[in-house]
Chains A and B, each alone.
Chain A
Amino acid sequence: MAWRFLLAAILGGVCYLDRTAACQLMLHRPLVVATLMGAVFGNLAAGAQVGVVLELIYLARLPVGASIPPDDTGAAVFGGSAAAVASSSIGLDGASFTGLLLLSVVVAETGKLADRFVRKVNVRIARLTAESVDRGDVQAVEHGLLAGLTLFAVMGAVLALVFSGAGVLVSKALLPRFGPANRMEFAVLLPILPLLGAASVYSCSRTERTAAVFFLTMAAVFGATGFFRWAG
């Protein structure tokens, strides 16, 4: 198990770097991260199952200016690793799926606090850089940037380690405590979560032109699903 956590920390560090500090190639998106974590902890499909829903939920919170959106990368680390451990040969049951998605909000908010902390420490690094440049050391700019990058990467690796550990712990210690009756009732909340994701997309893409298009497409696909079920 130790090598899995080590791999999770390394991959997490890379994904967290992509989130803010470097490139922004979308390697930090929940679909990618949860699937990766699922693969690391033994079930790629279960990780992807969580990633598919988490991917859209936080889209409505844009990283504009100084505002920091909830840490959906951390939520995906938690959800992906937990789903892989909690899943059986037939996949992840509805209640566990719902539970992991809802618990991931705690992780997302914790990750946001950690992100804020890194950016505050970076203030100190930036000041030191400016002071060194004032003294004539131009290379301090490169050192300052390297320090900032290292801080983002280390914090990312630590967060990935902690969140994947929390995911495994929740799957092994918390989820098995609930019986079949409780699970049936809890899974009632499941249909709401993909709709929250859809609302996030709708919220981002909302213009005069798109409002009708969204609901018409929704009705058409819903109708097609029903037709194929009836025909098949």
Chain B
Amino acid sequence: MSVPALTTGSRRAVWRRQFLLQGCWNYEGMQNVGFAYAILPALREIYSKRPEEGLKAVKRHLEFFNTQPAMGALILGASVRLEERVAAGEADPRAIGTFKVGLMGSLGAIGDSFFWGALRPMASVAGVLLALLHPLLGIAAMLILYNFTHLILRRKVFAAGMEGPEGAVGWLKQAGLNIRTDDRKLLAAILGGAYAGLFAGRFAAQGGGAPHALAWLLLAAAVVHLFTVLFRKAVSPSEILSFLLFVGVLILWR
């Protein structure tokens, strides 16, 4: 059974809708409603002459789904292609669920590490440093640095997904996201070090002499290291801030 190729309109609608993947994020199905919503224009077109099959397809996509939202576009694109194959009788509908479940965990880990662990800290600290010159400059730098990569990558992963599951997996292999993650982590570390040095220098300026300055630097580095050790031991920034707030109240009480 042949199925006509997806129109550009439906393809664009799916692309636009993927930005709302987390629109109904819930503890049970997580991004399930968002995924079904995003793929709906494609399903409507693929199953336009077979509404009962279309209904089954929508139900398939209302099952549990969760991944990093930007990387979800890869699975979304590939799922559209798989649905075309299912409609044409070339694939088993169960293959779609297997594909989604098989890829969402690893894509989530890759995406979390790249977007939340590398790109966002890098953009944030760059924005913060420039905001010291002018707040609007800092905001613009942060948004441009983050979204330039974010939007290009969303587009690329969606296009890779639209080449089918093989294309999606192939793209993941050759994209070298782990190298990109390391590069951005290195940049974030450089900028983060500059931020720490700048603020430590600012406060050291209130005292005098080289030994005093050196003591300040060592103290600041020790404080940063201590906080990092605490983070590694699952102490959250909120707990540290709460402790400092408690110390502050004691100071005021005294």
Residues on A lying within 8 angstroms of B by beta carbon are 20-27, 29, 31-32, 35, 44-45, 47-48, 51-52, 55-66, 70, 98-99, 101-105, 108-109, 119-120, 122-123, 125-127, 129-130, 133-134, 136, 138, 141-142, 144-149, 152, 178, 182, 185-186, 188-207, 209-211, 213-226, 229
Contacts of A186 in B (CB 8 A): 248, 251-252
Residue in A23, A206, A222 whose Cβ sees the most chain B Cβ within 10 Å: A222
Contacts of B198 in A (CB 8 A): 221-222, 225
Contact residues, B162-201 vs A (CB, 8 A): 182, 185-186, 188-201
With contacts A196-B240, A201-B188, A207-B182 taken as known, whether A191 is within 8 angstroms of B203 at the C-beta atoms is yes
Residues on B lying within 8 angstroms of A by beta carbon are 19-20, 22-30, 32-34, 36-37, 40, 44, 54-55, 58-59, 62, 66, 69-70, 108, 112, 116-118, 120-125, 127-128, 131-132, 135-136, 138-139, 142-143, 146-147, 150, 182, 185-186, 188-205, 210, 213, 216-217, 220-221, 223-228, 231-232, 236-238, 240-242, 244-245, 247-248, 251-252, 254
Closest to A57 in B: B237
- Return A223 CB to nearest CB of chain B, in Å: 8
How far is B22's CA from A148's CA once the two chains are assembled, in angstroms?
Answer: 9
Q: Is the interface of B mostly helix, strand, loop or mixed?
A: helix
Q: Are A196 and B227 in contact (CB under 8 A)?
A: yes
Contacts of B55 in A (CB 8 A): 133, 136, 138
- Return A145 CB to nearest CB of chain B, in Å: 4
How far is B185's CA from A225's CA once the two chains are assembled, in angstroms?
Answer: 24
Q: Are B20 and A149 in contact (CB under 8 A)?
A: yes
Contacts of A222 in B (CB 8 A): 197-198, 200-201, 204, 213, 216-217, 220
Residue in A105, A127, A146, A204 whose Cβ sees the most chain B Cβ within 10 Å: A204
Closest to A118 in B: B25
How far is B19's CA from A145's CA once the two chains are assembled, in angstroms?
Answer: 12
Q: Are A189 and B186 in contact (CB under 8 A)?
A: no
Contacts of A62 in B (CB 8 A): 112, 116-117
